[in-house]
Copies of this chain bind each other. A is one copy, B any other.
């Protein structure tokens, strides 16, 4: 039995969350999974909140960034956004704790640095780069939330298209008509759709600002 470590505790927590959902997590369950007394955990982690922060940080730090500096900047932005989204695939249940937790740790700083660098190289000034980054983060976080919030515990779940089919088409004509489209959601496709929209938006924005400064 290896020594009890903060890292081992965090790993056990992530494991437990992925196996049984974020609600199932408790200090006692984690300790049991590690074959250890409950209070032993507190020698390595100050409290449960800090443990969840550590979980978030750990998950976040595993994001794979294969940034290709030779690629077009629009493509680099796309790749970085996808990298962020991949945690929803590797750790679908843990994503909730990442997303619903305000973390101020260097783990979240590397992606920020990369994104800002890419945007600055593309030609955006500091203020625009920050605002654009915030917009992308909001979009990605929102997308992740849809992806994982749909499945609060488990089961593929036919997410309310049962209700959608019996919705009052007089009160909600559009919803009624588009029910087949609203009922199913290819997360990959939806994510790419919005991502593409955002990237095209900043592309034209950059173009316009360049033309403006050329005139000025």
Contacts and interface: CB of A to CB of B under 8 A. Distances in A.
A37 interface: no
Nearest to A204: B204
B138 A194 contact: yes
A134 B194 contact: yes
Contacts of A149: 100-102
Contacts of A137: 142, 146
Contact of A167 (B109, B131, B177, B194): B109
A200 interface: yes
A104 B163 contact: yes
A101 B96 CA distance: 11
Interface stretch (A13-21, A63-71, A111-119): A111-119
A180 to B, nearest CB: 9
B129 A139 contact: no
A207 to B, nearest CB: 11
B126 A177 contact: yes
Given A137-B146, A138-B139, A204-B200, A131 B194 contact: yes
Interface in A90-127: 96, 99-102, 104, 106, 109-110, 112-113, 116-117, 120, 126-127
Interface string A144-158: 011001101000000
- Each complex incorporates copies of this chain amounting to 2
Nearest to A127: B181
Interface of A: 96, 99-102, 104, 106, 109-110, 112-113, 116-117, 120, 126-127, 129-132, 134-135, 137-143, 145-146, 149-150, 152, 159-160, 163, 167, 171-175, 177-178, 181-182, 185, 189-190, 193-194, 197-198, 200-202, 204-205
Given A135-B194, A201-B204, 16 more contacts: A99-B145, A100-B100, A101-B149, A104-B159, A104-B163, A112-B172, A116-B174, A130-B181, A131-B194, A135-B139, A137-B142, A140-B142, A141-B142, A142-B142, A200-B204, A201-B201
12 contacts: A106-B167, A109-B172, A112-B174, A112-B182, A117-B173, A126-B181, A135-B197, A135-B198, A141-B142, A142-B142, A198-B201, A204-B204
